[in-house]
Homo-oligomer: A and B are copies of this chain.
Amino acid sequence: MLKHHDAGAEMVPQEGVHEVDNVGARLGRTDAWRKVTGQEQYMEDVPLVSQLWGKILRSPHPHARIRGIDVSRAESLPGVKAVITFRDIVPFKIGYSTHGDQFALCHDRARYVGDEVAAVAAVDEETAEKALSLIDVDYEVLPFVLDPIEAMKPDAIVLHKDKGTNIAAENHTEFGDVEKGFAEADHVFEDEFETQRQCHVCMEVHGCVANWGNDDSLSVWTSTQSPHIVKRFLAKAVDLPLSKVRVNRVGVGGAFGSRTDLFPHDVIAAYLSKKARRPVKLLFSRQEEFYASATRHPALVRIKTGIKDGMITTRHVTAILNGGAYTSQTGAVMGSLGWKASNYYRIENYRYDGYGVLTNTSVATAYRGYGGPQLGFALESQIDMIAERLELDPVEFRLNNANRQGDTSVSGSYFSSCELTQCIEAADRALEGEKPAGRDQGRGMAIGFGESGWRGAYYNNSDVSAATIKMNMDGSIHTTVGGAEIGTGYDTTMAQIAADALGVPIDQVSVHSGDTNDAAYDLGLYASRGAITSGMAVKLAADKTKGKLLDAAAKMLDTPRSELSIENRCIVSSANPNIAITMAEIAEHIYEEEGSAVFGTGIYDPQTHLADETGFHASPGGSITYPFCAVNLDVSVNRDTGEFKIGKIAVAVDCGKPINPAIVEGQIEGDVFHGLGMATVEPGLDYDDAGAPKYHHLVDYKLLTAADMPQIECIVAESTDPTGPFGVKGVTQLITSSVGAALANALNDAIGVRMTSLPITPEKILQALERAQS
């Protein structure tokens, strides 16, 4: 079933697998009023009494030994309440999963311009800034390395002596027989691509408010995607039992992967508060946000593809990712890139050689697509290059090789639903007849593949979400979920699922997320898992609650439970329409009989497989189910200036059942924004020869604005996936991975030159045109 949407469309009547009021409806977001009227509480708005300002002293050198730090002048500045260095903290190594190699404050070495060396808390921001200038650090400047290829060489300067190498992670995995595949192929193509260090550029800067109580309990307010993950690792970093640490709900002003982990600033704020014995607010400046918060991994991707009888049979992907100064999620992103490459098309043989490399640059981490945008640009560009070389229609070529429902990929992912061919056809049709005439007009397509949840992040063999539903005495519903509303409409989606699972109107449902006190352990929002894992947890909790309600009603009404159902806030008998009670009546009755709320807890940990030592998963794969998409766009180019303009983008996505089409469209548009920014205007955080970052402000680091965005046609190629709640799949990331290649393919179609590095700028186009002419 295909549904075309334009932004701003009216609410449409819902259809689908359930008789429902809310799931499938274009409901307004439950957080909308708070946000548009300025009532949402972000970190900056946390108003603790006697709050101090925290500031971090950062290394001005890309690589330096720290011979000593003298904080005495800073400590004696009036208004300064605490100054901390490595000596004040527990030597806990921050990182992702087991790959911790970063102290919250540098021990004896700084490894990038921006590395945390010391920190202060003072009565106001100005005093804190001044105190930073009074901290005397004795640096011994060391040689540094910015380029991962250089950093991989045997004689390269090594950032972490204990590792003995700058290769933080590598992966060499083969499925089938790649050499045999290439030997038997009719054609073998090998191409190389490069992508830049895209910055997340969240509208809300990173930071933390920490309050270390005199009872040795720690409360933090940090805009995180994963409150329980922050709690879990922060407790270790400050050496408190988990029962003494609370992560409180705040609004999240953009995340995109940059807020999944515990970061040094969270730990620093906590220790400043501990030492000062007052709450500390520590927020990045915009400049710090650029050079000291994490980024996407710059990547070199080489793809070798074997074709036999027009079918892709064999593929070998080599990727080198620049992880920056500390490992963070580099191993996982590198692994994900290789894993995704094995799932794009039906192939028989696959090999991956991946390298995550440390350099003296800022730390790279999760970013929308998680290896997908780097891969997608390469893989989907090469698809068109192959089609061109073999004189195949690129759309046909994709359709012939596309995955289909019921497939298991070469690396083991089972596609319980897959409407990829429908996506390709729909995206193709959407632009039919729209392509303007003229020699510098082009059209290009790229497909995308993504995950919905991910097993095994953060140590445990787990992909868990948790929800609890309590019924109030008036029949209204209190829903607690362990994730966080990070701007994706999570709370609204959960409310819709709870409302329909229980048969009550959405205005009777409240959703509380993001507070570790309320909710049970939940891994949070990443890997497009929110709607599916939290959604399933909410559904399970609601189903339990419904069961208890019907049990109680059967007893109260002296009617067989099998005859009862919930309809429009009432429990009614199918046998006798006169037998009916309201939800409020049954709730009050249960309070009378049992003393307290009907409630159900849903813990959902899907039946997926943990990766083995190769980083790949046995069937059904590490993800619960997999979304697919196709992006098709038109471009027109000015050959004199290299400038280009995108006419329209058609995005067709198989995201299962959209719980709320308006939210899905918001995700599609956001996905296009990040993909198109990476493909075009965003320069990436480049470094100069001295190892200093080139960009510090929104004036020089360009972003697309609303005015720059092309028309987007959102098409939902709805599948009915058997796994998620109401058949939902992830939708937040995969389109980002497709935009770069679609643009490169369209440009090649328009002007016959092939762009192999992102971003694609007018300058690069002019250079390519010149090369093509010469």
Q: Chain A residues in contact with chain B, CB under 8 A?
A: 30-34, 37, 39, 41, 45, 47-49, 213-217, 232, 235, 241-244, 460-464, 466, 470, 472-474, 476-478, 480, 507-510, 512, 515, 517-518, 520-522, 588, 591-592, 594-597, 599, 601, 603-605
The chain B residue with its CB closest to the CB of A505 is B241
Q: Could you tell me if B599 and A33 are in contact, using CB atoms closer than 8 angstroms?
A: no
Instruction: Give the shortest distance, in Å, between A57 (CB) and chain B (any CB).
Output: 28
Interface pairs (28), CB distance under 8 Å: A32-B215, A33-B216, A39-B213, A41-B49, A45-B49, A217-B510, A241-B472, A241-B476, A242-B472, A242-B476, A243-B472, A243-B477, A243-B478, A244-B510, A460-B592, A461-B592, A462-B591, A462-B592, A466-B595, A466-B597, A472-B521, A478-B517, A520-B596, A520-B599, A595-B603, A596-B603, A596-B605, A599-B601
Complex interface: chain B residues within 8 A of A517 (CB)? 478, 480, 512, 515, 518
**Contact A47/B49 with A462-B592, A596-B521 known, Cβ cut-off 8 Å:** yes
Determine chain A's interface SS by DSSP, over half rule. loop
CA distance A214 to B473 in the complex (A): 24
Complex interface: chain B residues within 8 A of A464 (CB)? 591, 595-596
Complex interface: chain B residues within 8 A of A463 (CB)? 595
The chain B residue with its CB closest to the CB of A51 is B47
CA distance A592 to B512 in the complex (A): 25
CA distance A757 to B595 in the complex (A): 41
Number of copies: 2
CA distance A508 to B242 in the complex (A): 8
| Cross-chain contact of A33 among B215, B244, B472, B521 (Cβ < 8 A) | B215
Complex interface: chain B residues within 8 A of A605 (CB)? 594-596
Complex interface: chain B residues within 8 A of A515 (CB)? 517
Complex interface: chain B residues within 8 A of A462 (CB)? 591-592, 595
The chain B residue with its CB closest to the CB of A533 is B595
Q: Could you tell me if A215 and B595 are in contact, using CB atoms closer than 8 angstroms?
A: no
Complex interface: chain B residues within 8 A of A591 (CB)? 460, 462, 464, 521
Most central of A47, A215, A473, A605 by chain B CB within 10 Å:
A215
Instruction: Give the shortest distance, in Å, between A572 (CB) and chain B (any CB).
Output: 21
Complex interface: chain B residues within 8 A of A510 (CB)? 217, 243-244
CA distance A285 to B113 in the complex (A): 55
CA distance A601 to B515 in the complex (A): 19
List 4 A-B pairs, minimum CB-CB distance, nearest first.
Answer: A595-B605, A464-B595, A242-B472, A243-B476
Q: Could you tell me if A235 and B474 are in contact, using CB atoms closer than 8 angstroms?
A: yes
Complex interface: chain B residues within 8 A of A472 (CB)? 241-243, 521
Complex interface: chain B residues within 8 A of A214 (CB)? 33-34, 37, 39
Instruction: Give the shortest distance, in Å, between A207 (CB) and chain B (any CB).
Output: 17
CA distance A518 to B477 in the complex (A): 14
Most central of A39, A41, A595 by chain B CB within 10 Å:
A595
CA distance A241 to B509 in the complex (A): 9
Complex interface: chain B residues within 8 A of A594 (CB)? 603, 605
Q: Could you tell me if A241 and B520 are in contact, using CB atoms closer than 8 angstroms?
A: no
Complex interface: chain B residues within 8 A of A41 (CB)? 49
CA distance A507 to B216 in the complex (A): 10
Complex interface: chain B residues within 8 A of A213 (CB)? 33-34, 39
CA distance A514 to B515 in the complex (A): 15
Complex interface: chain B residues within 8 A of A460 (CB)? 588, 591-592
Known: A241-B472, A241-B476, A596-B603. 6 other contacts (CB 8 A): A37-B214, A242-B476, A243-B477, A462-B595, A466-B595, A512-B517
Complex interface: chain B residues within 8 A of A31 (CB)? 215
| Cross-chain contact of A242 among B216, B473, B601 (Cβ < 8 A) | B473
The chain B residue with its CB closest to the CB of A212 is B39
Complex interface: chain B residues within 8 A of A48 (CB)? 47
CA distance A525 to B610 in the complex (A): 48
Complex interface: chain B residues within 8 A of A478 (CB)? 242-243, 517
CA distance A605 to B41 in the complex (A): 38
Instruction: Give the shortest distance, in Å, between A592 (CB) and chain B (any CB).
Output: 5
The chain B residue with its CB closest to the CB of A45 is B49
| Cross-chain contact of A521 among B32, B39, B244, B597 (Cβ < 8 A) | B597
The chain B residue with its CB closest to the CB of A36 is B214
